[in-house]
Amino acid sequence: MPRRLLLSALALACVGCGESKPPAGRTVVLISIDTLRTERLGVYGNAADVSPNIDTLARDSIVFDTALSVAPWTLPAHASMLTGLDPVAHGVEEADRRIPAKARTAAEHFAEHGYRTAAWTAGGFADKGWGLEDGFESYDTNSPWAATGTGFSRYLPNALRWIEERKEEPFFLFLHSFDAHGPYDRSSPDSLARFRARPVQDSPRDFEYFRATYTDYARGMRFDQYQRLGEALNDYDSGVFDADRAVGEVVATLKRLGRYDEALIVVLSDHGESFYDHGLWMGHGLHLRDSVLRVPLVVKLPHSELAGQRVSSLVDLVDVAPTLLDVAGLPKDEQMQGSSLAAVARTGERSRGWALAGTASTKTYALVNRQYKFITASDTPPLVIVRTSLRPETPPVLREFIRGEPFHAYNSRGESQIFYYPNVHDPLGYFEDVPRAGGLYDRSNDPGEHVDVSAERPEERERMVKALEQILESSRALHARLEGEQVRKQLGDEELKQLRELGYTVSGESEALSDEARAADEALAAELERARKNPP
């Protein structure tokens, strides 16, 4: 029997005996709403009709106003959420890595102290195989994959039934869904109808958004069905509403069973969503701006301690697992890098005055403190997106995102043009790339992160560079101590299908696609050259 399953079995056998008896915090619920942008919740400034249940829960909770993710995509964010380690320390920075066996999850700690543990997730990068399931007796995922059923509604009745069956048993429950993840038109019919009936708000980014819908990624996410950004946001909010409704059902069940008052409930997201902020496309995963790093974080303590408190201290997802253990009264895991959010709320102080984030897509890191965010330069060729200045009548269609490979694009008349990026001079202004030079942003005076102040404050930039180097070195050293049993994760056909449905380009596929694109481009180049030499 695997070590972790054996430990869980022994812990369950010892419920009620010796040191395995659970302490007072016997009801622990962690709810992750994937891709939930913070300001789309009412408690963070959106309309009150979008998230009434989360807003109500927030009145009994602590609300963190400056919570950040560790990555702009699902897998490393959830690995940090459950282990209390940053992505460099746990090592799951890319999809072929698994959480090391020596990095213990919150679920393992709960299981070893007599808690029943269960999880329901929507699959994708929250599926089994990466180690997120470690410590859970039951870890149910969206299998077989159903792209139209990735929200809470797919499994919520089963999860609520599981809560009811626990009776007086202590438990740790983890729930995850893609209700807010693109495509945004997968919401329930009643929610879609409700939010599509709302007025469509004009946005200064409408033109940029419309241009962005001509990429293949946007078409795969069905973004090209919207004429204005406000239409996409209305559909997005319908997914948030569906997720909120599920949170309300969980809370109602706990109240009916008499377990709400004692419960620790954490509602959050793994990352946000970019709606063409900074001219940087729709979606997430490529950059480290706050549109994708800032996350909602609502923490309801037992007996609603500190209810209604707003905390401005900088916190991040590595603080989640230490919070679960601390509030439940379990021993602290000394290798966890985070702090208890309850302690942060009580004192206003956190052991780390900074947050680290990174993305494998562009191989960049960001270091954030209360005043600044520093983003490193990318060492990969750029990812191509549509330039915002393109004339409306000739939008190109990119066949795929290609890293430094030749490709061709079609304009609205079906005319093909060849580009070799990044060597192309781009005289027509068709394309731009995700910024590669990094930058230093003054979060206090420029919360939107629009102005790079590196040139004006070189000494501050150098301090951030040195601090980042030290932090990365420390996390890499911790990873070296943990990685003895780390293995590579192999993606199966079903998992690849799930990830494609969610709009992800999976490592390993891109090479084949690039070869295909290169062959097509070479053939097209030869054809154009023949036409040039032999004009009609």
Range(s) of the domain holding residue 55: 3-270+297-354
* pLDDT above 50: residue 275: yes
Q: Higher-confidence residue: 450 or 528?
A: 450
Residue 175 in any domain: the answer is: yes
Q: What mean pLDDT comes out for the span 243-272? A: 98
Residue 471 in any domain: the answer is: no
* pLDDT above 50: residue 435: yes
Convert the pLDDT of each residue in 59-76 to its tens digit.
Answer: 999 999 999 999 999 999
Per-residue pLDDT at 152: 92
Residue closest to 528 by CA, chosen among 417, 438, 448:
417
Per-residue pLDDT at 286: 75
Q: Higher-confidence residue: 461 or 501?
A: 461
* pLDDT above 90: residue 374: yes
Residue 178 in any domain: the answer is: yes
In 178-259, beta strands by DSSP E = none
Instruction: State how far the Cα of 497 lies from the Cα of 514, in Å rounded to an integer.
Output: 19
- Contact residues for 10 (Cβ-Cβ < 8 A; gap 6+): 112
Residue closest to 136 by CA, chosen among 9, 32, 268:
9
* pLDDT above 80: residue 147: no
Q: Which amino acid is at 393?
A: E
Per-residue pLDDT at 437: 64
* pLDDT above 90: residue 514: no
Per-residue pLDDT at 219: 66
Mean pLDDT of the chain: 80
How many domains does the chain divide into? Answer: 1
* pLDDT above 90: residue 454: yes
- Contact residues for 438 (Cβ-Cβ < 8 A; gap 6+): 364, 374, 375, 376, 377, 378, 454
Per-residue pLDDT at 145: 47
Per-residue pLDDT at 210: 59
Residue 20 in any domain: the answer is: yes
* pLDDT above 90: residue 20: no
Contact of 322 with 84, CB cutoff 8 Å: yes
Instruction: State how far the Cα of 168 lies from the Cα of 434, in Å rounded to an integer.
Output: 52
Sign of the four-CA dihedral 383, 385, 388, 393: positive
CATH of the domain at 118: 3.40.720.10
Q: Higher-confidence residue: 147 or 393?
A: 147
- Contact residues for 47 (Cβ-Cβ < 8 A; gap 6+): 237
* pLDDT above 60: residue 415: no
Residue 426 in any domain: the answer is: no
Other beta carbons within 10 Å of 202 = 10
Residue 8 in any domain: the answer is: yes
Convert the pLDDT of each residue in 469-481 to its tens digit.
Answer: 999 999 999 999 9
Convert the pLDDT of each residue in 197-235 to its tens digit.
Answer: 999 988 777 766 655 555 556 667 788 788 888 999 999
Q: What's the Cα-to-Cα distance from 54 to each of 41, 155, 177, 195, 309, rounded to whole Å?
A: 8, 19, 15, 18, 15
Per-residue pLDDT at 141: 87
Residue 324 in any domain: the answer is: yes
Residue 63 in any domain: the answer is: yes
